[in-house]
């Protein structure tokens, strides 16, 4: 079909999307002008409009592309029922692959989380539907790790807390900061899985503050590799 098109057509489109993602991520979709996008790409505005029909199609391509890429990451995880240990292993791996994807497409991810509200209803519902599928896959693993938790009532909110940690990462992480990206993924996974394992039921009651985490500290003496440096408690 794209016979008459330049072989660099898709390359140029991707380059424009990358520049648009960077500008949208920095200033938001409404505050970014097509003049800025064209200038960042080294193109005239008229040339830019040769590759994309309008400004809105940039937003659709960026958000739908990013959420579709994330959805591909969770597809292999949609397996049959798992043992808690298997679910835990899969969730750990999934967290790491998501963090890695965010590092790879930081700008597009920011556009996905912050500018989805500027999509028209039909486009927004399609994107949000894919997001729901992603959350459902995570929640299934969370429920698989703790089958005693009420799936709808607790696994889903817990999963959203996990997404909060992950999605918030790049609002405060500077590339080249003291925290390396590689160190963060296991930190998120260990914090969440540790907290998930330590959760007692029922939640929502006024448990005395500290009972859970205080108990959690005893764990360290039982870890197979007691590599704790010290404890002044």
Using the rule CB under 7 A, give the single segment among 4-12, 65-73, 197-205, 224-232 that binds DNA.
4-12
Is residue 70 near its own copies by the rule CB under 8 A?
no
The nearest distance, CB 99 to its own copies, in angstroms, is 12
What are the helix (H) ranges across 105-180? 106-114, 121-145, 156-172
Does 11 engage in binding with its own copies (CB under 8 A)? no
Task: Identify which of 156, 134, 132, 131 has the alpha carbon closest to the alpha carbon of residue 143.
Answer: 156
Distance (Å) of CA 130 to CA 40, 93, 124: 30, 20, 10
Q: Give Cα separations from 229 to 220, 221, 222 (angstroms).
A: 11, 12, 14
Q: Examine residue 15 and tell whether it contacts DNA (CB under 7 A).
A: no
**Binding at 147: pick from DNA, its own copies, none (beta carbon under 5-8 Å per type):** its own copies
Q: Considering CB distances under 5 to 8 angstroms, the limit depending on partner class, which of its own copies, DNA, none binds residue 129?
A: none
The correct pick among 18, 39, 40, 56 for binding DNA (CB under 7 A) is 56
Which entry of its own copies, DNA, none binds 50, CB below 5 to 8 A by partner kind? DNA
Which positions lie near DNA, rule CB under 7 A? 4-6, 9, 12, 32-35, 43-47, 49-50, 53-56
């Amino acid at each position: 079909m794209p016979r008459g098109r330049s072989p660099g057509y898709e390359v140029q489109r991707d380059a424009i999307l990358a520049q648009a993602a960077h500008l949208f991520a920095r200033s938001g979709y409404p505050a970014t002008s097509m003049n800025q996008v064209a200038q960042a790409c080294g193109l005239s505005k008229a040339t830019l409009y040769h590759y994309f029909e309008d400004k809105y199609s940039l937003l659709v391509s960026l958000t739908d592309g990013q959420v579709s890429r994330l959805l591909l990451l969770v597809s292999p995880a949609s397996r049959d029922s798992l043992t808690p240990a298997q679910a835990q292993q899969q969730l750990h791996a999934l967290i790491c692959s998501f963090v890695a994807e965010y590092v790879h497409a930081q700008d597009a991810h920011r556009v996905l989380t912050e500018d989805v509200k500027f999509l028209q209803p039909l486009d927004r519902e399609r994107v949000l539907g894919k997001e729901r599928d992603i959350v459902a896959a995570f929640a299934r693993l969370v429920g698989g790790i703790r089958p005693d938790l009420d799936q709808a009532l607790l696994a889903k909110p817990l999963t959203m807390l996990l997404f909060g940690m992950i999605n918030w990462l790049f609002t405060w992480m500077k590339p080249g900061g003291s925290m390396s990206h590689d160190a963060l993924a296991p930190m998120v996974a260990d914090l969440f899985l540790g907290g998930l394992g330590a959760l007692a039921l029922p939640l929502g009651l006024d448990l005395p503050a500290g009972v859970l985490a205080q108990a959690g500290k005893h764990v360290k003496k039982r870890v197979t590799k007691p590599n704790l440096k010290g404890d002044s408690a």
